């Protein structure tokens, strides 16, 4: 089919085939949308078996401006295509002129109601489309016979706002106004939310002679938003909606977690300021995926800096949504500080010796697995030092077990303060310690032996240590290197104690 006659129409026209591919888009369509077309209306029509369909959606331009677009679609059986006309409400009067239809005839059904109002007190209705009854419950006759005026429809709490906005349109440079959403009261007393685009008509001298209004029922949208806000407000966990660097929505629970009021949270220029500096890269990566529109729930744990300076741990679960036609991130935040503290306590119990505070045997074995693997793969130097307190039983027998415990604690601190940061030290068991060193094991061992010999423990006790050393060699396993270090310690003991033996 030749679509060239539609090319220069001043309204958007799209032709979509049965596979939802856009086979034709006129010049106006490309100006409005670029090359990104979303034929979701055709999908709805095909799924529901409809030949005609009308709806309104919000299109956000590259400049961030929101345009309300009225879509009129029909199915062409002859060539199995869907034809969509997209009308920018700001240009709707011109659009009707181009399609050679008067508004009151065209809008006999569908979500949009047309009004023509007089510039008089209460805005008397001179003309209204038949589908007004679906929106308001009132008939056309009740309006045009002056039984009620347009202002009679508007909720009293919203009337001043609507009047003020229309006055700005009437007295300002613009001849049209898309009102902020407001409420109307139907004939049976129900409350409905509407979107209202008004065009101010003036004569040659600039005097207002009336108004065209295009009103759409958006109650469902508001009810969903209200339901979300009610659930979010009652939620014991933090809930947020983010777009760009700012929060669009935050509930009271999130306020309690962060220590900031909801107003303060929404006014933050960059929400990353809430995140601990060491965790910001993790959050940035998730934000980038959300801003790209990538779907998929992501759960992660980060630290947050509260307003009072305290640091708390939180778990964030987020997903990508579309808000005002652009990707956004919605998620929940749970305070897991208590859980983290418990985990850290359990971790400490699992990895650290309760008496001395240094690594325990389990932790040393885990470290040793990794160090042997690195030595084997990367040929990195690795040495083991077994350190045993000489004649420790005599200390317990002479001074008591509590004194013996104090000696072990002081000895552990002494070792810890005199080894390299890259070396790993812990209590192997009883009075025996293990040091995993990466260079100069003989120098380190002799230094530790000498310092112990020169130190007075628990104010009055002198002790010595014997140290057995071995180095990783090709083919060694964890068992073989431990056995060699143990044999070296045995040699140091058998040759007189208070000495170092290398095997």
Task: For residues 78 and 76, give the distance between their C-alpha atoms in angstroms, rounded to a whole number.
Answer: 6
112 C-beta neighbours (distance < 10 Å), count: 26
Q: Are residues 462 and 383 in the same domain?
A: yes
Q: Are residues 197 and 267 in the same domain?
A: no
Domain end call among 86, 101, 116: 101
* pLDDT at position 255 over 50: yes
Pairing type for strands 383-389 and 424-429 reads unpaired
- H/E stretch holding 465 reads strand 465-471
* Catalytic residue of the set 225, 226, 371, 431: 431
Domain end call among 101, 119, 147: 101
Pairing type for strands 12-16 and 81-88 reads antiparallel
pLDDT of residue 113: 86
Task: For residues 448 and 437, give the distance between their C-alpha atoms in angstroms, rounded to a whole number.
Answer: 13
Q: Which of 198, 213, 188, 55 is nearest to 127 (CA)?
A: 213
Task: For residues 431 and 220, give the distance between their C-alpha atoms in angstroms, rounded to a whole number.
Answer: 74
* Domain residue limits at 333: 237-339
Domain for residue 231, yes or no? no
Domain for residue 412, yes or no? yes
**The domain that contains 438 carries what CATH number?**
3.30.70.270
The residues, ordered by sequence, that sit 6+ positions from 449 with a Cβ below 8 Å of its Cβ are 464, 465, 467, 498, 499, 500
Residue 486 gets the label, from left (phi > 0), alpha (psi -120 to 50) or beta, of alpha
- Interhelix angle 361-378/478-494, rounded to 10 degrees, is 110
pLDDT of residue 68: 67
Please give the biggest Cα pair distance in the chain: 120
Q: Are residues 357 and 481 in the same domain?
A: yes
pLDDT of residue 102: 44
Does the active-site annotation cover 145?
Answer: no
198 C-beta neighbours (distance < 10 Å), count: 23
Q: What is the pLDDT of residues 46-77, one digit of tens each?
A: 888 888 777 767 777 777 776 767 777 888 88
Q: What is the pLDDT of residues 139-177, one digit of tens each?
A: 989 998 888 999 999 999 999 999 988 888 777 766 667
**Number of separate domains in the chain:** 4
Indicate the pTM of the whole model. 0.47
């Amino acid at each position: 089919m030749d679509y060239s006659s539609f090319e220069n129409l001043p309204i958007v026209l799209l032709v979509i085939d049965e596979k939802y591919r856009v086979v034709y888009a006129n010049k106006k369509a490309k100006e409005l949308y670029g090359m990104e077309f979303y034929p979701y209306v055709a999908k709805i029509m095909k799924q529901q078996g409809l030949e005609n369909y009308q709806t309104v959606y919000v299109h956000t331009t590259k400049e961030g401006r929101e345009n309300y677009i009225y879509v009129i679609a029909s199915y062409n059986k002859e060539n199995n295509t869907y034809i969509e006309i997209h009308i920018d409400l700001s240009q709707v009067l011109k659009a009707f002129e181009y399609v050679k239809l008067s508004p009151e005839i065209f809008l006999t059904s569908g979500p949009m109601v047309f009004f023509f109002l007089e510039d008089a007190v209460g805005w008397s209705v001179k003309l209204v489309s038949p589908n007004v009854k679906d929106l308001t419950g009132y008939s056309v006759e009740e309006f045009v016979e002056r039984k009620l005026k347009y202002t009679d429809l508007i909720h009293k709490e919203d009337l001043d706002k609507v009047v003020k906005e229309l006055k700005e349109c009437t007295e300002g440079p613009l001849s049209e106004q898309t009102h902020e959403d407001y409420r109307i009261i139907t004939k049976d007393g129900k409350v409905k939310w509407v979107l209202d685009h008004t065009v101010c008509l003036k004569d040659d001298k600039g005097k207002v002679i009336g108004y065209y209004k295009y009103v759409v029922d958006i109650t469902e949208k508001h009810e969903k938003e209200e339901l979300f806000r009610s659930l979010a407000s009652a939620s014991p966990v933090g809930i947020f909606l983010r777009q760009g660097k700012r929060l669009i929505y935050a509930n009271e629970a999130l306020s309690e977690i962060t220590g900031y009021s909801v107003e303060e949270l929404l006014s933050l220029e960059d929400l990353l300021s809430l995140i601990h500096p060491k965790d910001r890269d993790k959050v940035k990566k998730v934000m980038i995926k959300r801003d790209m529109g990538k779907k998929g729930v992501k759960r992660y744990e980060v630290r947050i800096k509260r307003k009072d300076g305290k640091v708390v741990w939180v778990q964030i679960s987020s997903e990508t949504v579309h808000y005002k036609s652009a990707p956004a991130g919605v998620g929940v935040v749970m305070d897991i500080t208590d859980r983290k503290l418990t985990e850290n306590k359990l971790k400490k119990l699992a990895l650290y010796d309760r008496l001395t505070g240094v690594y325990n045997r389990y932790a040393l074995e885990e470290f040793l697995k990794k160090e042997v693997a690195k030595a084997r793969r990367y040929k990195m130097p690795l040495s083991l030092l077994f350190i045993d307190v000489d004649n420790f039983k005599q200390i317990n027998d002479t001074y008591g077990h509590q004194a013996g415990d104090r000696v072990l604690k002081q000895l552990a601190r002494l070792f810890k303060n005199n080894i390299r940061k890259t070396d790993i030290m812990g209590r192997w068991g009883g009075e025996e310690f293990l040091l995993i060193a990466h260079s100069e094991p003989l120098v380190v061992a002799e230094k530790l032996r000498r310092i112990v010999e020169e130190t007075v423990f628990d104010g009055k006790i002198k002790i010595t240590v014997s140290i057995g050393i071995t180095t990783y060699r090709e083919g060694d396993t964890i068992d073989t290197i431990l056995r060699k270090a143990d044999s070296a310690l045995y040699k140091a003991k058998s040759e007189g104690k208070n000495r170092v033996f290398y095997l």
